[in-house]
Amino acid sequence: MTARDLIPIAVLTILAALLPLVVTSSPVLNFLVFMLIVALGAQGWNILGGFGGQFSFGHAAFFGTGAYVTAILQLRYGVNAWAGLVLATGAGAVVGWSIGYLSFRSGLRGSYFALVTLAFAEVFRILANAASFTGGAAGLLIKLDVSPANLQFADRAVFYWLVLALVAAVLLLTRWIQRSRFGAQLVAVRENEDAAKALGVDSLAVKLRAIALSGAVTALSGCLYAQYFLYIDANIAYGSWISVELLLAPIIGGVGTVFGPVVGALTLHGLGEVAKQFAGRIPGIDLIVFGGVLVLAVAFARGGILGLLERLRDRGRGMVARGTKEVSHAGR
């Protein structure tokens, strides 16, 4: 990675970190924290789905695992919340690797892989809802005990900074993947798995690494969710809502790009907040707008928002180029 790779991430992170000093409104901070938790999970999805081209419909399996592992460790075994965070992330990697091992070894791709992940998430949901050590349907309530040692902060801004730091770390990780040999192999598998294999890429190993990383990052976001709201149940942790949300954010923002998931999460949730102005008393109007915008975005903004921006920029450059007869594309 070069300085050019790092600077945008560093600048954006610092700007975002300064935000709570300017905006002291609690609703805004609360909104940003939840948005960033979703963005983090979406970054996890993007590693596997964006770079690896393996569309998962069941990332709830990882999100929920992260949430449950940290909650159970704290409640049943008295493990410290910070340790719980680390262990939950590890558990996400293990679950990711296992699901990947089963599905990739059977050669599942495309729709089939999407469906099998969906089914895994559903199985987890039903089990978590029925088993007693997950609290069954009553869910788990993490004890309210505000103290930095317990990963609970009196000031919402602190939690915001924590999530932001993790999002930034994953941005760096994603940038590294993009630049690394592993990333190149992953993209090769996405573009043409057979060709990649022919070139000597161990596609199974590459995909397994990707899904383990992806599972870990998404589990981390699940863990943060549990820690922020202090309550989870099977439908929250393993529900299909989170699978859908983690998949939509990168696709809206720009699939397979470093910033796509964050841009997408911000757009989706921002849109939700704007749409509420239209809502009035009729239920669902805002969501109709939302669904419609989604369809329109797909119809007119291929490659997500970042893709759209890039095309606009290219078009702008193209015009400039035509105007000045300058054809140099140095720097691209």
Partner 1 sequence: MGRSVQDSAFSGISRRTVLKAGAAAAAFAAVPVAAPSILRAQTPAAVKIGILQPVTGALAHDGDLGRLGAEMAINEINAAGGIKSLGGAKIEMLFGDARSTPEAGTQEVERMQAEGVSAIVGGFASPICLAASQAAARYDLPYLVDVGVSDQIMTRGLANTFRFSPGFGKVTQVALDNLTAINDRAGKPAKTVVLVHEDGLFGSGLAKLLQAELPKRGFEILETIAHPTPARDMSNVALRIRSLNPDLVIPSNYYGEFVLLARTMQQQRIKPKGVYAILGGAASNGRFVKEFPQAAQNVIDCNHWHDPKNPKALALRKAVEGQGKSFAYNVSLNYSNLLLLADAIERAGSTDRKKIIEALNASTFAGHIMPYGPTKFVNGQNEGATPINTQIQGEDIKVIFPDAFAEAKANFPAA
Partner 2 sequence: MYSPQIILEAALNGLMTGAVYALIALGLTLIYGVLHIINFAHGALLTCAMFGVWIAWAWLGMDPYLVILPLVPLMFALGYGLQRFVIGPASHGDDGNILLVTLGLSIVLENVLLALFQSDTRTLDTDYSFQVVALGPLLLSYPRVIGLGVAVVVTGLLWLVLNRTDTGKAIRAVAKEKLGANLVGIDVPHVYAVTFGMGCACLAVAAGLLMPTFYVNPRIGGAFVLVAFTVVVLGGMGSLPGALLGGLFIGVVESLCGLFLGDSLGQIGIFLIFIAVLLVRPTGLFGAKA
Name which position in 8, 107, 110, 284 contacts partner 1 (CB under 8 A): 284
Contacts to partner 2 from residues 244-283, by CB under 8 A: 244, 248, 251, 255, 282-283
Name which position in 36, 73, 220, 242 contacts partner 1 (CB under 8 A): 242
Q: How far is the CB of 272 from partner 1 (least distance, A)?
A: 4
Asked if 294 is part of the footprint of partner 2 (rule: CB under 8 A), the reply reads yes
Q: Which is nearer to partner 1, 272 or 307 (CB)?
A: 272
Residue (of 103, 93, 53) closest to 69 by Cα position = 93
**From the list partner 1, partner 2, none, which binds 144 (C-beta under 5 to 8 Å, kind-based)?**
partner 1
Asked if 290 is part of the footprint of partner 2 (rule: CB under 8 A), the reply reads yes
Q: Are 294 and 252 in contact (CB under 8 A)?
A: yes
Asked if 31 is part of the footprint of partner 1 (rule: CB under 8 A), the reply reads yes
Asked if 45 is part of the footprint of partner 2 (rule: CB under 8 A), the reply reads no
Exposure string over 251-269, b if 16+ CB within 10 A, otherwise e: bbbbbbbbbbbbbbbbbbb
Q: Are 263 and 305 in contact (CB under 8 A)?
A: yes
Which tokens go with 29? 């901070």
Stretch that binds partner 2, among 71-79, 88-96, 117-125, 185-193 (CB under 8 A): 117-125
Asked if 122 is part of the footprint of partner 2 (rule: CB under 8 A), the reply reads yes
Phi-psi region of 169 (alpha: psi -120 to 50; beta: other; left: phi over 0): alpha
Q: How far is the CB of 264 from partner 1 (least distance, A)?
A: 13
Task: Kindly tell me the number of DSSP H helices and DSSP E strands found in the chain.
Answer: 14, 2
Pairwise CA distance, residues 43 & 220, whole Å: 11
Name which position in 106, 147, 180, 192 contacts partner 2 (CB under 8 A): 106
Q: How far is the CB of 297 from partner 2 (least distance, A)?
A: 8
For tokens 């000045």, name the residue.
324
> What single string gives the DSSP state of each residue in 200-245?
T--HHHHHHHHHHHHHHHHHHHHHHHHHHH-EE-HHHHS-HHHHHH
264 Cβ contact partners less than 8 Å away, ≥ 6 residues apart: 39, 42, 248, 249, 250, 251, 252, 253, 254, 304, 305
Stretch that binds partner 2, among 12-20, 39-47, 79-87, 126-134 (CB under 8 A): 126-134
Helix (H) or strand (E) holding 30: helix 26-46
> What single string gives the DSSP state of each residue in 120-151?
HHHHHHHHHHH-TTTTGGG-EE-----BGGGT
Stretch that binds partner 2, among 38-46, 60-68, 100-108, 199-207 (CB under 8 A): 100-108
Give the residues lining the site for partner 1 (CB under 8 A): 25-27, 30-31, 34, 125, 129-130, 136-139, 141, 144, 154, 229-231, 233, 235-236, 239-245, 248, 268-269, 272-273, 275-276, 279-281, 283-284, 286-287, 290-291
Give the residues lining the site for partner 2 (CB under 8 A): 55, 102-103, 106-108, 110-112, 114-116, 118-120, 122-123, 126-127, 129-130, 244, 248, 251, 255, 282-285, 287-288, 290-292, 294-296, 298-299, 302
